[in-house]
Structure 1
Amino acid sequence: MIGRPEDEARLQSALGRSPVVVLSGPRQVGKSTLARMVVDPPRANTFDLEDPRDLSRLGDPTLTLSGLEGTVVIDEAQHRGDLFPILRVLVDEDRRPGRFLVLGSASPDLIGLASESLAGRVTVLELPGLRLDDVGVSHLDQLWLRGGLPLSYLAASDQLSAQWRDDYVATFLERDLGNLGVRVPATTMRRFWTMIAHYHGQYWNASELARSLGVSRPTIDRYLDALTDALVVRQLQPWYANLAKRQVRAPKVYVRDPGLLHRLLQITDREDLLGHPKAGASWEGFIIEQFLAAAGVADPHFWATHSGAEIDLVFSRKHQRIGLEVKLSDHPRMTPSIRNAIADLELDLVLVVHAGADTYPLADRVTAVAAADLLSGSMADF
């Protein structure tokens, strides 16, 4: 068991102010475990909607739920989207904080219905994989290789971790996507997800992937949206600036968990990873996901021009516009691309995140930051 104090604090805070809290995240990320750590409800207050017995108990949800005291936990709630209007009625009758904790495996309907039916009554949280703060700085390489799904990270060996992730991918494709309403053959979606892995960190080219799979462009976009809604793929949107330069307008795509990325690429151990052509892109995606989870950036973007200038992440913090550039290098250097980004986007600060051990000024408004320092510290330090 790995403690997750930051996620515990976020969930406790949400339950302390909102009648309904929706906690979403991909399968096996630890939602149910976190709920037990924070709430630990009695059996009568727990409903797992993948358990036929609990579905039977909710045959008349208004009658069953209205009589329960304390926090009620509803797990895998995407199986009963009709519950949200009922929760709204019950909450309007009794608006005490922390009345319902709703867990869901990243169904788009789960979040959509929660926002529509429970507006003003709900806090929506997303549970990421394990953070570097959770496992300790000395385990950064293991977290990068195995990813943040707890059972993958905690496996007794890299080989067993890889086998667990292979099983996860198979189950996700064969069962979980169907439960989320995605009606695509598992073999087709596996081919597509593997293609995404090879595109990891690159600009989205729907036409090229559509030709490879022999489907239409709208269909390939629908596949991408399905994996994005399931929180296993990130579409990082471009930042638009009012410039004369031609800017990239397609999103960049990433497999969000590096452990899943590595299995889709048939990478098992660190030696395989460091020798793979996608090692740099894998490191970039890993740092971006870890940083977004730790820093709580709400609306991240990247920026690029067709002439080659690019910055991996652009975001605002404390009235500053900040750029983040990721390098799989021990000694990063100042580049024309960074200078162009500072000038064109009027950036207040650029952080060049690298794999070395030291943090130091690189140029005016540019700091080279060790990945361990950035991810185990606070943005306030930079």
Structure 2
Amino acid sequence: MAFLVCRGGWYATELLPYIKMGVDCSKRKGDFWITGSQVFRLMKNVSESLAGRVGIVNLLGLSDAEIYQEPSEPYQTDAARLMNRLSVRSRKGLNEIYYRIFKGSMPELYADENVDWETYYRSYVDTYLQRDIRDLAQVADEMQFYNFMTIVAAQTSKPVVYEELASAAGISAPTAKKWLSILASSHIIALVQPYHNNALKRVVKMPLIHFLDTGLAAYLLKWGNPEALEKGAMSGAFFESYVFSEIYKNYLNAGKEPPIYYYRDKDQKEIDLLIYQNGILSPIEIKKSASPGKTAIKNFNVLEPVTREETFGGLGALKVEIGTGSVVGMANDLLPVDEKNWYVPVWLI
């Protein structure tokens, strides 16, 4: 018989030893499901009680594929795969994309069109602070943490500099690091790690911040409508975070760990995203423009050292192949940049 522990089960930790006994006796998978949003206590108790007996599924906000009821698969830069997607994805213009970015990813906003956007996010933030944050020893002041969230939202798509975050929020750098970890653990943000390879000597070590729900970031930063957001100073940053979150969610929704990194070196050369899998490193640049030009791929060549065996002292197994590159933006169609790279419409990801 299947047994379901619904939201609030995180607090009934006394059930976990009995679940363990039930699992050990039946040997069946899927008898017990625990759902909810309070992850902090849960992970500690599950790790102690159900180690080796539990699978964890992280459910983020809705992806475009879920919203528009279109097929979903992890993003691949391969041109043939992208061409196959042309027949199953619907084209979207700038206004529709920014309406989607502004509205965000919360299921309730799509289930009921009568739900007021601002009221919903205000209630979400209040509930998050009171339910998930107030009880944490690391956070003594809810308003100070709210201000910190707002500062982090303003840094979406930028590298983390803990000292700057701490100074802006009026807290210490260690506290900023702890609070950022809380936001990451509760899937408010993702911290994208820099791609590191011994062949790349000047890579910076700081992670990149992306807000996973652009609607929440828009609420925190007081953007009032999609038109203002699209024309505003943070238009490009929100576009980047939206693209990242879609690619990130598509991997999670397929049950895969997102193999996503970024590149930035001490010469200020950047590549917005890197997908690394099966020994292939695929660079992705994100540009809001419909026609960014070939300068969009100008930094892709910084990856060349990873392809040379001599860079690794003759250890050929360490070298990496550079795959097809993408420039994701508002292009009207899938078009080649050159023989190795493609302009990819954002609605195709």
For Structure 1 versus Structure 2, the TM-score category normalised by the shorter chain is 0.7 to 0.9
CA distance in 2, matches of 1:327, 1:99: 46
Identity of aligned residues (%): 25
Per-residue CA deviation, residues 150-184 of structure 1 (Å, 9 max, x unaligned), is 12345537x92123212222222233322566533
State which drifts further: 236-245 or 274-283.
236-245
Instruction: Find the partner of 1:111 among 43, 56, 72.
Output: 43
Instruction: Decide whether the 8 Å contact of 1:152 with 1:165 is kept in 2.
Output: no
Change (3 A) 1:103 1:289: same
**Residue 13 of structure 2 corresponds to residue 81 of structure 1:** yes
Instruction: Decide whether the 8 Å contact of 1:351 with 1:367 is kept in 2.
Output: yes
SS of corresponding position for 1:332:
coil
Mapping 1:136-215, distance limit 5 Å: 136=68, 137=90, 140-154=97-111, 156=113, 160-179=116-135, 183-215=139-171
The code of the aligned residue for 1:131 comes to S
Instruction: Decide whether the 8 Å contact of 1:106 with 1:231 is kept in 2.
Output: no
Per-residue CA deviation, residues 19-50 of structure 1 (Å, 9 max, x unaligned), is xxxxxxxxxxxxxxxxxxxxxxxxxxxxxxxx
The code of the aligned residue for 1:312 comes to D
**Residue 263 of structure 2 corresponds to residue 306 of structure 1:** no
Instruction: Find the partner of 1:338 among 299, 321, 343.
Output: 299
Mapping 1:315-326, distance limit 5 Å: 315-326=275-286
Instruction: Find the partner of 2:327 among 344, 352, 358.
Output: 352
The code of the aligned residue for 1:343 comes to E
The answer for unaligned runs of 5 or more in structure 2 is 69-89, 308-321
Q: Who is 1:370 aligned against?
A: 345
Change (3 A) 1:340 1:237: same
Q: CA RMSD in A?
A: 2.3
CA distance in 1, matches of 2:45, 2:299: 42
SS of corresponding position for 2:292:
coil
CA distance in 1, matches of 2:150, 2:177: 15
Query: How far has the Cα of 1:106 moved from its partner?
Result: 4.6
Change (3 A) 1:279 1:246: same
The code of the aligned residue for 1:71 comes to F
Change (3 A) 1:180 1:77: farther
Change (3 A) 1:129 1:365: same
More strand by share: 1
Q: Who is 1:288 aligned against?
A: 244
Instruction: Decide whether the 8 Å contact of 2:200 with 2:305 is kept in 1.
Output: no
**Residue 95 of structure 2 corresponds to residue 95 of structure 1:** no
CA distance in 1, matches of 2:306, 2:246: 24
Query: How far has the Cα of 1:96 moved from its partner?
Result: 1.7
Change (3 A) 1:101 1:235: same
**Residue 232 of structure 2 corresponds to residue 276 of structure 1:** yes
Greater relative contact order: 1 or 2 (C-alpha under 8 angstroms, separation 6 or more)?
2
Query: How far has the Cα of 1:234 moved from its partner?
Result: 1.3
CA distance in 1, matches of 2:285, 2:268: 14
CA distance in 1, matches of 2:118, 2:302: 39
CA distance in 2, matches of 1:337, 1:82: 57
Query: How far has the Cα of 1:278 moved from its partner?
Result: 1.1
**Residue 336 of structure 2 corresponds to residue 361 of structure 1:** yes
Q: Who is 1:123 aligned against?
A: 55
CA distance in 2, matches of 1:113, 1:338: 45
Instruction: Decide whether the 8 Å contact of 2:199 with 2:306 is kept in 1.
Output: no
SS of corresponding position for 1:123:
coil
Instruction: Decide whether the 8 Å contact of 1:311 with 1:337 is kept in 2.
Output: no
CA distance in 2, matches of 1:315, 1:322: 5
Q: What is the TM-score when the length of structure 1 is the normalising length?
A: 0.73
Query: How far has the Cα of 1:308 moved from its partner?
Result: 1.9
Instruction: Decide whether the 8 Å contact of 1:300 with 1:313 is kept in 2.
Output: yes
The answer for unaligned runs of 5 or more in structure 1 is 1-68, 375-382
SS of corresponding position for 1:218:
helix
**Residue 211 of structure 2 corresponds to residue 236 of structure 1:** no
Equivalenced residues, count: 305
Q: What is the TM-score when the length of structure 2 is the normalising length?
A: 0.80
